[in-house]
Structures are given as C-alpha cells and as structure tokens.
Structure 1
Amino acid sequence: MRGVVPHSRPLCMRTARRSGALLALCVGAFAAGGCDREPAAEAPTLAASGVSQPAGWADELAMPIPRDLNPDPNVLEIDLEARIEEIEILPGTKTPAWTYNGTVPGPMIRAKVGDRVIVHFKNSLPEATTIHWHGLRVPNDMDGAPGVTQPPIEPGGEFRYELELRDAGTYWYHPHQDSSAQVGRGLYGAFVVEDPADPAVFGDELVLLLSDIGLRENGDLLDADTGGNFGDLFGREGSVLLVNGKILPTLKVRNGKQQRWRIINAARARYYNLRLRGHRFIRLGGDNGLAARSEDIYNIVLTPGERADAVFTPADPPGSSNVLRWVPTERGYGSTFNRSSEPMLAIETVPDPPVTPEPIPTELRTIEPIDITNATRRTLDLTIDIASTVEMGINGVPYWQAKPLEIELGDTEVWRIVNNTPFSHPFHLHGFFFQVLDDRRVREWKDTVDVPHESELTVAVRFDERPGAWMYHCHILDHAEAGMMGHLVVRDPNAPTPADEPAAGGHRH
C-alpha cells in the first residue's frame, strides 16, 4: 500500500524498554502474592486526589452538532478539524486539549441508516493522524488505519472520508495513529446511526460518552511517559472522569419517564462499571444495534471501545437525587487494589408527578446465527513477554513481526481467542461484525468484546464482502501499541493481487 509507515516500534515500547527491569520485578511478584506498588494506570480520580471542586459545579450534557453543508436530506456533509485548543475542563483552568472542531468530545455525528456521510477532514495538529470510524462497516480505504488502509494525514494535510451507513447502532470515531496519546489528549467523538423503525417506547434518547483525561491541578495535560510503573500493564488511565466532556454533570429526570441511554466507552484503558443505587436497566443491545432480546441488568460494564444501549427508568421519589457511579472492575491482578467508587453523573428527579413507564418488548429483532459448518478455525493467543522488556503480541509475535491472516472472500471463520495473561483484554475487529459463540449470552452483533484474564472465548465472523486489509487488536491502546494487534487480508479470488499491499508491521497504532 502506498504511504506505508516505515517500520518503527511504538512510543510505549520504547518506554517499556527503559523500565523493563521494574516491570519484570513486579510481574515476578505474582507468585509471591503481589507487588507493593500502586498501579499508575489505576489512577485516582480528581475527587480522590484532593483537588477541590466547587459545590454543585456541573454543565449540560449536550454535545456539539456539526453544521450540515449538504441540502440533500440523505447526505450529511461536514467539516472536521483536529487542532489544539485551550478549553476548560477543570473549573477556572485552561487545558491545551487535542480536539475535533475545538471541543472535547468532538461534535456528535448523527444520521440514519442508508445515509451517506461526507467528512472533509483537516489535520491542524503538530503530528500525523487519521480517523477510524469505530464499529462502522465502511469501505476499506475509509477505515483510517495508517499504513494499512491509507497513508497517515500529515500536519496541514486534508482527507475526504465518505461513509455509507448500513447498520444502525452506537459508534464513535478516534485517531488510529499514535492513538493512546491522541485519544488521551481528547480526540474522540460520538457517532449515532438511527433506525427509524426502533420502538418509541424506548423513551427519550441520551448519548453518554464516557472518557477520562490526565490533568495536573493547573489544567496541564499529564501526557508524559509513566516511567514503567507496574500499572502500565493495565494501560494508562486518566485522573479525571468525564461524561460528555464534563466532570460530574447533572441530569434532570422525571419519575417513571424512561430514557434510552446510548453509552460509549471512549477511554484508552479504563473499564467502566456503572451502577445507580436502587435502579436496574433494561439492556437493548450494544455495539452494532439491538440485540435479539432485551434483558434486565443491575450494572453496565463496558470495556474500552465498547458500547451499550439500555433503557433507564427513574424510580427515585420526586424531588430527590442520586448518583451514577463508576465502580472498580476486577480485570486482572491488582486491578481493584486500593480503589473505591467514584461519582460520574448526578441525577435529580424533578418534583413533577410520576408517570407510568411503558413495557419494553422482550423480543427485539431476529438475528440468525452464523453458519459455522464449513468454517475455518484459528486460535489467537493474546500474549505478553516480560523479561528485560515488555512486549505484547498475538500468538507470541508482536505486530511488527507478524504476518497477516490470509482469508478468501466469502469465507466464514471461527476464532478461539485465548487470554492466559494476568490482565483482561478487549478485542476489537475492524470492518466486520462477529457473534460470540456462547449459549449463555443474548445473541447480538459485536465488534469489541472483553476477553477476561486467564480465560478464552470463541467468535464467528463471516467475511462476505469488502476485500482488503483490516486490523484487529486489543483496545487498551497501550497494549495495541506494545504489539497486541494484527491485520488480515480478505482476498477476492477473481481480482488481481494488489502490488501495494501493506507489509507486516506497517501500521503504527
């Protein structure tokens, strides 16, 4: 492929090599019962760190909407610029955030199934970037993987993205070039594809984009290498929790009046486990639209990159208040060490009389199981090599040494994803949806799924269209940069082999 990024190991690998001895020492402590260092990645939130917040400080949950440049009702055409902007995240301070159109998060892109979206993108950052449309099944050359599907967009460069929206669901967009740093500085935004046929009984819709950011008390970004603390192995978390770019915003609700929450985890490493005292949720689906049926749940758990679609029915008395909280999630050795829950969203129930909620249907849509009778079977073993350095990979090989998977157009494959490491890994596949082969799960289409530590799961994928090179990787972005990613090539047997196919390790995540 033209514009392939020259072979180079990512920044976090260079950091890991400087501090490998410390990391190896801490991991060696597993057998002895633990490591006496608190994980840096499991950083305390701002409230826990002692930084003061004005009582009741909050802002609205509304996210900016980009101006539509096209009069055609079936075409959304927008300008999107990545640039550094001084914005207020901590009250009374300015942060030099990396933004889309000057805001964190970037503007919410919203369209309907069947629409065409045209994005005129300009890179005004001091380094190269791209945009990956996370979860969307887009043309191969629009996927935003530099060195695999497109050249990186250099500073001052422009690129025109054209997307055909085929699938309803909750998606998001973010860089795929040095993504841990760029996402960590604020580059991400929501992308919702509506299905006009969705039942109205789901209630008023609210998009909640969850993220975190590392900030000093003066508002400066905590952007430097972490120096090899044991917590780096979990991925680097920010010190400030955000909902739609705000710290502890307030949502006003009415008792009994349902809301449909579309929730996006846009953090580069943090798992979100959400709980609301005295409430349950009705889960409608996740990554790629509605599931086959709804289910009652009492907490919502999202890995980095994953999404949830759920109905929230306020049940608190009129005039009362509650708090949606982030709760520590067990995702590997030491992941809940010295941690407590943190407030995410203040919920105030207005004094209006309660209303009677509508019943939510159990059966939502028909999703036929993928036929795996003649499927090709593979094992993808998520691995970590910790000696004097830290190197992650798949099947024992880091990305820059791996060969692509060869898949013929029209094939179905079953992947057994094995995680014998002591840390959980969210697995993300570009360009295609998959089904998790587990009878205990509600059937749905996924593009991101958690593979818990010391366990495995099996997924089925149908490669029935869109030939070309596609990425798959751990969506803890530091893990991807450390080598836990790969790419596959879907070949059309009736088409000539391209001369500019990406080489192994051509992509810099």
Structure 2
Amino acid sequence: MSFKLVLFAAGLTLAPFALGCADEALPSQPAGWDSAVTLREAVDKNPDPAIVEVDLSARPSDLEILPGTTTPAWTYDGGLPGPFIRAKLGDRVIVHFKNELPSPTTVHWHGIRVPANMDGTPGHSQPDTLPGESFTYDFVASDPGLYWYHPHVDSAVQVGNGLYGPLLVDDPGEGEKLGDELVLVLSDMAIAEDGSLEDPKTGGNFGTLFGREGNVLLVNGRVDPTIEARAGLRQRWRIVNAAKSRYYYLAIAGHEFTRIGGDGGWMEHPVETDKLLLTPGERADVLVEPRGAPGSTLSVRWVPYDRGYGTTFNRPEEEVFRIHLTNEPAAEAAPLPTIARSIEALDTAGAKPVKLTLTQSELNGEVVMGINGVPSWEANPLMAAVGETEVWTIDNTMEFDHPFHLHGFFFQPLDESGAPIRPIEWKDTLNVAVDGTSRFAVKYDNRPGMWMFHCHILDHADAGMMGMVQLQQ
C-alpha cells in the first residue's frame, strides 16, 4: 500500500508556527467547547510509549439516555459508547477483554488489519468468549485513520444494545493541524417511553428486510448535544457510523463538508459536498467551517436517504446535534494547506474475478438473505491466496441498499470500466445500491486465515447475507 502525504501552504514554509507569530495569539475555540461530546478515554496501563495496553469489559449497565428514565444497555466498561482507544501509527495494541454479559460475545476490530486470529469472527478466527471468560487481543496499528470495535455474535442485538466504541490511529507525520478535532460516534437506539429497550425482533420479516433503526439518535452516547464554537474557525470531524442499520446523511444549511478521507485514511485529494453520507460501518474525515451571526445556533441534521423501498416515506429531517456560535466576531481561519495523498492504483491485469449476487428468499415463513442464493450457514468459503489480486463484482437484486463490508483488507472501488474511482481511496465498506452493481479491487497481504464479508445492515447479516474468504499461503 503506497502511503505518502503532501502538505504545503502557498507562500509559506511548512513549520509548526508558519501560520502565526510569537506576539500574535491565534484565535481559539471557547474553553470547554467540546465538553458535551467528550469521549471517555481508555486507560493505557503500559508505560512503553509504543504500546497501548488497556482492559475492556462488556457488561450490562443502566444508563440515563433519555431524561428521567434508565435504559438497561449493554456496554463496554459501563458507558456509551465504549472507551476511546487512541494509538499512534505502528503502536502495538493489547486489549485484555472480559465478557461480563449473560451471553457469548467477541470483539471485532472493524477496518484494522489484524491477524486472522484477532478479528473476532466466532467459529472461524476465534471461539466465542463465553460469559465470565476472557480473551486478549494483540495487534499492530498499521494504518492511520478512525476505526471502531463491536461484537460479532448476535451482532444486530448486541450492537443495538450499545456495544460499540472508537479506535483512532494517529499519524505523527501527518503534518500541520487542519482544524480543532472532534471524534464523533454516530448511532441510534430503539428505546420505549419508559426507557426499556424495544424488542430486537420488532416488525418481524419487514423489520428484517428494512433493517431495524432506533428511534433515538445518538452522538457519542448523547441525545442532541450542543458544542460551542467560534465562527470561522475550522474543525476536523472524524466520524464513524456505528448504527446497526441507519444510514447517516448529514447536512448543515448553508455549509459544505470538505471530505479528506474515509475508511482507510486520507483520499488522493479532498472532495466538497453539501451532504455527507455514511452507511453503517463507514467512516469519514471531514473539515467544517461553522459560519453565522454571533450567538446563533447551527443545526447538524439527519436527512432521509433513499436506501430502498419505503425508507424515506413520510420521514422528516431530524437534528443530530447543534453548534452554538459564541458572541465573539468571526475569526479568520488559518489558510488551508493543500492536502494530497499518493495512492497507487492496484494492478488488475490478470486479477481473479469474484462475482457475488445479494439475494433474498423465504424459508418456513421467515425471510432468509444470502449471497448467490445461499445463506451464510450453508455457504462454502471462497478460496484465495496470499499475494493474489481479485476484482469483486457485487450485484444487488433486492429493493434495499446494502453496505458491503470485507473484514481484514482494504480495497479500491472501481467504475464500470474497471478503472479506479477518483479520488482513489482505501475502503472496507462500500454501498451497493438498489438494482445496482458495485466493484472493487483487493490485494491480499500475508495474513492467511478465514475472513468474513457481509452486509453491514446487521439484521441482514444475521439473516444470512454473509460469507467467508479462506486465504491460504
């Protein structure tokens, strides 16, 4: 994987203080500006600066998510989301996990290129971690970017109950600060008026087909929080969609997002967009410059996204969180450096074709989903070899979009001609639209083992839209 970052500011020498001088204070955000969305940080108990070693437990916890009520959530370390694990590029990450739930579970490190036996795929990469048991995850943070962790046993239920958390891998060589940083874990939860969790099987077959969305939108475990900001000061949002089914389509009236990266770090170059789409499992690295009258409030809104039959019908926009602008006059943001990453397109000459069709059927009155007409529990693994390059073509025959996720490996999305989609980026989750086809190229590095792929609408995965790649030496 070719990785090179290029940062420069026109007319300036790139240096830590290139954008200011010693006798001129740079404008800053108000004190405590991000306190409403502050994440709990994991405690690193290893003094070695190149090792991040933490304890992590999955356990039931009663949380006040809606005012005046408590919800019996399933949590990592008693909070929602799980603790924020932060590492540097190249660090060794050790997580001593204990299962204090009443059910088996595992931890999957979504997007991280871990060894197969650290991937958290039950029955393939590791056995279930039973109630009262422990398992130690040990891997190297080999790629910069935002990742996340969640279970892979009864995934829709366990993630829906609150089991998810962020993991950020910083690149010390990234260069100049691009904006004041927020890590935002977006999700939702199905909570009744009395605070109890709604039945995870609500809606029956239609609920499975639709993908069950929660009725409460959450940002870092909070409902509609407000951050403080000074108008004109650029912010860098590192966002993960940890919802089990909901597509997050974000908009701020009169504003644009500058998307500089996604699943596998930075893209070739930034892209401007007035709305930002994150399917379940996807991440985005975006720059935002809040603007408005002093004292005014901006609304960051969830916009209905048409991901298939009925998914936008009679659904209003909803507020996700707010940005309150201080009474100070607008600041002038530092000039934005040119942001670029050199990514070499994978050579697909002679690549092995892999063709998959996403399908549904019915068995004994229950919806069954599958790949090539076969549910996961009946499927044989695809065979692949270390060093091999494959081109996957995924056809969707259903009336719903599917966010397709490949464990353990980044890939490059391709267009209809087989050329890389520009700007090139490394992905691990890719949307396959209704009656549509998505393509990507993947090259397997030397991590043999069994690797899962599935729809990241977790109700769909649990209903059979899942398979395995057996990677051999």
The secondary structure found in structure 2 opposite 1:355 is: coil
Structure 1 counterpart of 2:462: 481
Structure 1 counterpart of 2:352: 376
Structure 1 counterpart of 2:67: 91
Relative to its length, the structure with more strand (as a share) is 2
- Structure 1, residues 213-233: CA drift from partner, whole Å, max 9, x if none? 011111111134214263431
Displacement of 1:87 in angstroms is 1.1
One-letter code aligned to 1:490: L
Displacement of 1:362 in angstroms is 4.5
The secondary structure found in structure 2 opposite 1:217 is: coil
Determine which of 366, 371, 376 is the counterpart of 2:342. 366
User: 8 Å contact 1:377–1:415 — kept in the other structure?
Assistant: yes
What's the TM-score, normalizing by structure 2?
0.90
Structure 2 counterpart of 1:401: 378
Relative contact order (C-alpha < 8 Å, sep 6+): which is higher? 1
The secondary structure found in structure 2 opposite 1:190 is: strand
Determine which of 43, 49, 52 is the counterpart of 1:67. 43
Displacement of 1:470 in angstroms is 0.3
Displacement of 1:67 in angstroms is 1.2
After superposition, where does 1:95-244 map in structure 2 within 5 Å? 95-228=71-204, 230-244=206-220
The secondary structure found in structure 2 opposite 1:216 is: coil
Structure 2 residue 446 is the aligned partner of structure 1 residue 468: no
Structure 2 counterpart of 1:8: none
Structure 1 counterpart of 2:313: 337
Displacement of 1:277 in angstroms is 0.8
For 1:81 and 1:125, the matched residues in 2 are separated by 9
Displacement of 1:359 in angstroms is 3.6
- Structure 1, residues 400-444: CA drift from partner, whole Å, max 9, x if none? 111101111111000011112110000000010000013554210
What's the TM-score, normalizing by structure 1?
0.84
One-letter code aligned to 2:371: I
For 1:231 and 1:179, the matched residues in 2 are separated by 15
User: 8 Å contact 1:294–1:362 — kept in the other structure?
Assistant: no
- Structure 1, residues 8-49: CA drift from partner, whole Å, max 9, x if none? xxxxxxxxxxxxxxxxxxxxxxxxxxxxxxxxxxxxxxxxxx
Determine which of 357, 368, 372 is the counterpart of 1:391. 368
Please list every run of 5 or more consecutive structure 2 residues that lacks an aligned counterpart in the other structure: 1-33
Please list every run of 5 or more consecutive structure 1 residues that lacks an aligned counterpart in the other structure: 1-57, 493-509
Aligned length: 435
Displacement of 1:360 in angstroms is 3.2
Structure 2 residue 283 is the aligned partner of structure 1 residue 307: yes
For 2:206 and 2:310, the matched residues in 1 are separated by 10
User: 8 Å contact 2:208–2:367 — kept in the other structure?
Assistant: no
Displacement of 1:363 in angstroms is 4.2
Say what the alpha-carbon RMSD is for the aligned residues.
1.4
Displacement of 1:361 in angstroms is 4.1
Deviates more, 1:276-285 or 1:432-441: 432-441
Displacement of 1:314 in angstroms is 1.0
Structure 1 residues 330 and 227, CA gap change in structure 2 (3 angstroms): closer
Where does structure 1 differ by over 6 angstroms across 4 or more consecutive aligned residues? none
For 1:106 and 1:61, the matched residues in 2 are separated by 13
Structure 2 counterpart of 1:434: 411
For 1:207 and 1:409, the matched residues in 2 are separated by 34
Structure 2 counterpart of 1:415: 392
The secondary structure found in structure 2 opposite 1:183 is: helix
User: 8 Å contact 2:61–2:73 — kept in the other structure?
Assistant: yes
After superposition, where does 1:23-62 map in structure 2 within 5 Å? 60-62=36-38
User: 8 Å contact 2:412–2:425 — kept in the other structure?
Assistant: yes
- Structure 1, residues 114-162: CA drift from partner, whole Å, max 9, x if none? 1011111000000000000000000111000000100000000000011
For 1:358 and 1:368, the matched residues in 2 are separated by 31
For 2:224 and 2:156, the matched residues in 1 are separated by 24
Structure 1 residues 220 and 201, CA gap change in structure 2 (3 angstroms): same
The secondary structure found in structure 2 opposite 1:141 is: helix
The secondary structure found in structure 2 opposite 1:180 is: helix
- Structure 1, residues 161-183: CA drift from partner, whole Å, max 9, x if none? 11201000110000001110000
Determine which of 435, 438, 441 is the counterpart of 1:457. 438
Structure 2 residue 233 is the aligned partner of structure 1 residue 257: yes
User: 8 Å contact 1:295–1:362 — kept in the other structure?
Assistant: no
Structure 2 counterpart of 1:18: none
The secondary structure found in structure 1 opposite 2:398 is: coil
Structure 1 residues 441 and 421, CA gap change in structure 2 (3 angstroms): farther
